[in-house]
Amino acid sequence: MTKSVNMAILYINVYIQYINFAKGVVLMNIIISNISKDPIYEQITKQIKDNIIKENVSEGELLPSIRSLAKELKISVITTKRAYEELERDGFIETVPGKGSYVSAKNKEFLKEKKIKSIEDKLMEAIEDSRVIGLTKNELKEMLDILYDNQI
């Protein structure tokens, strides 16, 4: 993150923690925002999942320890533990007692398919809502195009 971006964030009084892990473990960025509606553990979980699905990290790579991640992000160990438990439950990581947590060797296509299913469910909900208010298919497509193109 550049200094100008850091200053802009500080200027608008948004507290964001940004950490780049590279000490012999997975290289990824974790950004925590206190203005997000999502709890911190969900922000961590989502970002690690996204990095795994996008293949920014490889199968078998060591993640930062729970304590290390908590220390770097200046958050509770309980919060990072919960994030790692969620990741393990969803099959994204495997934890070996005494050794650490690793990116699961689970089939990446399965994980991608799971994410696609989630997107389809959300789109179905949007379609149902649009029908309730009489929005046409073309109007819905136009909204999607605008939203998709305006994302960073």
- Write the pLDDT tens digit of every residue in 8-60: 433 333 344 445 554 454 467 888 998 989 999 999 999 998 888 887 888 88
Predicted confidence at residue 85, as pLDDT, reads 96
CA 28 to chain centre: 11
CA 147 to chain centre: 19
CA 134 to CA 57: how far, in whole Å? 43
Predicted confidence at residue 152, as pLDDT, reads 54
Alpha helices in 37-134 (DSSP H): 40-53, 66-73, 77-89, 108-132
Q: Which of 6-10, 54-58, 65-69, 71-75 has the lowest mean pLDDT?
A: 6-10
Q: How far apart are the first and last CA of the chain?
A: 15
